[in-house]
Amino acid sequence: MSLLTVGSVAFDALETPFGKTDKIIGGAATYITLSASYFVEKNNLVAVVGDDFPQSMIDDLHQHGINTDGLEIRQGEKTFFWSGKYHNDMNSRDTVEVQLNVMEHFNPIIPDSYQDCDYLMLGNTAPAIQQMVIERLHKRPKLIVLDTMNLWIEIANPDLMNLLKLVDVLVVNDEEARQLTREYSLVKAAAKIRSLGPQTVIIKKGEHGALLFSEGQIFFAPALPLEEVFDPTGAGDTFAGGFIGHLAKTDDISFENMKRAIIYGSAMASFCVEKFGAERIMNLTQEEIQARVSEFVTLSAFGLDL
């Protein structure tokens, strides 16, 4: 099935306890489409960059089968730039600098060839822009997955509330779920989010795994215990890409298959953190992915005779 991903394609400059980078390729939609490329063939990207964005990076996306017909290159403008510095525990980071540049007036253009998309991934960007994408599609996709962040919960809450009514799955981290609902218990937070629209809620807990909530059902997915997290940037987007990529590949949105999709997403995210930026997820084999998924099976399987 075809996947459409909307979100940022950006430059990032990162600093972790292990080192720092110059401007490297980043952005939610970059990580999502790269991650999904290991699952789907029709992998369509809608994003905007400036004329400073190198053709070699677009070539990299093409090499991963990503369709960039919807990647607008705005002449005379600059690409979105974010730089951040991670604390020693890698669980928190400070934003050092943000240059919105082209993202300030992002007007997502959906090429006609994308109109038949079955799965829609709304990567993190302003809720009003995410909603525009839904409205510009002639038919509703089979599944709409939404990612958002604390910034939009704070400054664009009414927009986000409207948008939540239109989507099937919300993917947030534990902090965002609590901020959105003012509930500390994640069980209560998920119930509240479900009452706002999305019938399925995924709450990511970083190194503690992820929870999947749907009607009367909960699934707890482990995270792979890692010796070292080199750079967590993009791990959440990579997770989302693996999740929706597996769903689109199998075209099965049952709860049982969503569990498997979360395991695939978690496996992809566990690769992402091994190197700076998107380097690791640009260089994976199907064999490596299957081996990693097997590790998750070993990690969480237990046999009980009840």
Residues that bind a second copy (CB under 8 A): 88-90, 184-188, 205, 208-209, 211, 218-223, 225-229, 256, 259-260, 263, 290, 293-294, 297, 299-300, 302-304, 306
Alpha carbon distance 200, 255 (integer Å): 9
In the numeric block, the tokens 């590790």 are attached to 295
- Residue 66 or 177: which CB sits closer to a second copy? 177
**What residues have CB less than 8 Å from 151, skipping those under 6 apart?**
none
Cβ 1 to a second copy, closest distance in Å? 19
Q: At what angle do helices 55-63 and 28-36 cross, to 10 degrees?
A: 30
Q: How many CB atoms lie within 10 A of CB 170?
A: 29
Size of the chain in residues: 306
Cβ 187 to a second copy, closest distance in Å? 5
Cβ 300 to a second copy, closest distance in Å? 5
Cβ 92 to a second copy, closest distance in Å? 13
Q: Exposed/middle/buried for 70, CB within 10 Å: 0-12, 13-18, 19+?
A: buried
Cβ 302 to a second copy, closest distance in Å? 4
Sign of the Cα torsion 51, 56, 59, 64 reads negative
- Residue 21 or 257: which CB sits closer to a second copy? 257
- Residue 122 or 273: which CB sits closer to a second copy? 273
- Residue 28 or 212: which CB sits closer to a second copy? 212
Alpha carbon distance 282, 61 (integer Å): 9
Of 75, 92, 102, nearest to 7 by C-alpha is: 102
User: 141 in helix, strand or coil?
Assistant: coil
The β-bridge partners of 144 are 120
Cβ 224 to a second copy, closest distance in Å? 8
- Residue 59 or 256: which CB sits closer to a second copy? 256
- Residue 127 or 209: which CB sits closer to a second copy? 209
In the numeric block, the tokens 């237990």 are attached to 302
**What residues have CB less than 8 Å from 224, skipping those under 6 apart?**
266, 267, 270, 292, 295, 296, 299
- Residue 10 or 172: which CB sits closer to a second copy? 172
- Residue 163 or 212: which CB sits closer to a second copy? 212
Cβ 113 to a second copy, closest distance in Å? 33
Cβ 280 to a second copy, closest distance in Å? 18
**What residues have CB less than 8 Å from 39, skipping those under 6 apart?**
242, 245, 246, 248, 249, 264
